[in-house]
Amino acid sequence: MDYLLAIESSCDETAAAVLDTQGRVLGETLLSQMDHLPYGGVVPEIAARAHLAHLPGLVDKALRRAGIEAAALGAVAASTGPGLIGGLIVGSSFGKGFALSLGVPFIAVNHIEAHALSPRLPGVSEREVAFPYLLMLVSGGHCQCVAVEGVGRYRRLGGTIDDAAGEAFDKAAKLLGLGWPGGPALERLAATGDARAVSLPRPLLGRPGCDFSFSGLKTAVAQIVARGDARAEDIAAGFQAAVADVLADRAGHALAMMRQTGSAPGLMVVAGGVAANAAVRAALRTLADAEGIGFSAPPQRLCTDNAVMVGWAALERLRLGEADGLATPARPRWPLDEMRPPAEMGA
């Protein structure tokens, strides 16, 4: 096998990428859907129809950018879960059909595993990313602390009990009149504010374990906005600081939990859309430095959903001898700790 085509369609990003066997990105395309803006969030039916309309053209463009013909592909991969079921069906069905037409293997990629393994993509991290490491997955749909012990070997240490971090960013931004998606807009507004000007809670800070809760923080923002006695930029800065403090605290507990079980991590990795936030990166990097371990975050373009990470996860599994049948179903829920290492597939 010389080349692999990867497809991502788990939410509102339609993406395709062509990688070689070493993980070098030869061609990449990505379309961020804007049809959801009037609704203040992703509408699943609209997302699925947009994937269906745009995916063939994006795949064709990725192949042209890579300078290869479809016949040169040795494998096809697609996000097959978790996510919005309509988009997953569109992307995985397209990928299966492509693989069937070429007579090449199909790899069903867990979208969260793609985030988890993305720091191992060549050129992404300043140092080699060896197992085990701590993954802080923070996005619009997920907020988890995961011990990454190998390909297919994951232990969920904690997660959110209500809103995900990215969801909380979007809701706070909406309260401040910033529209959707709210994360980038809130970060820009926070840059001009004073985080000390407003008092906001840090839910679960210092509590045992590494679960998260952001609903109380969102409610506190709503109450301050309703009072009308604080500047929007100060509220944004205070909210961002509170989230960063909570994530760093929970990450510290997760590191301790890994060490207690004899799985000493040499690295902390942050991935997912919220990993693009500079304040969150800084807080987690500071913690990693204090703990004496390395820190890695993908470049911003690889923090949000993309096909490059899907392709890399597929390559990691192909190297261990794994491929999937064309009957593999799309799964709206697919927790990492329900996966099995490639060596156990078929056991």
Neighbour tally for 192: CB within 10 Å: 12
- Give which of 157, 94, 10, 105 is closest to 345, Cα–Cα: 105
- What sign does the CA torsion over 81, 126, 254, 238 have? negative
Q: What does the block give as tokens for 345?
A: 């597939």
For residue 93, with 0-12 CB atoms within 10 Å meaning exposed, 13-18 middle and 19 or more buried, which class applies? middle
Contact criterion met (CB below 8 Å) for 154 and 164: no
Question: What is the C-alpha to C-alpha distance for residues 178 and 185, in angstroms, rounded to an integer?
Answer: 6
Contact criterion met (CB below 8 Å) for 267 and 296: yes
What number of helices (H) and strands (E) belong to the chain? 10, 10
Q: What does the block give as tokens for 15?
A: 């993406």
Strand 133-138 with 106-110, pairing: unpaired
Residues comprising the binding site for substrate?
137-141, 170, 183, 187, 277
Q: What does the block give as tokens for 301?
A: 């373009």
Instruction: Return the axis-axis angle of helices 278-291 and 232-260, rounded to nearest 10°.
Output: 30
Q: What does the block give as tokens for 199?
A: 């008092």
Half-sphere exposure of 191 (CA within 13 A, CB side): 7
Residues comprising the binding site?
111, 115, 137-141, 170, 183, 187, 277, 305
- Give which of 143, 117, 142 is closest to 130, Cα–Cα: 117
Strand 3-8 with 73-81, pairing: parallel
**What one-character DSSP code corresponds to residue 324?**
B
Name the phi and psi angles at 331, rounded to 5. Answer: -130, 115
Contact criterion met (CB below 8 Å) for 164 and 140: yes
When computed from its CA atoms, the radius of gyration of the chain, rounded to whole angstroms, is 20
Residues comprising the binding site for Fe cation?
111, 115, 305
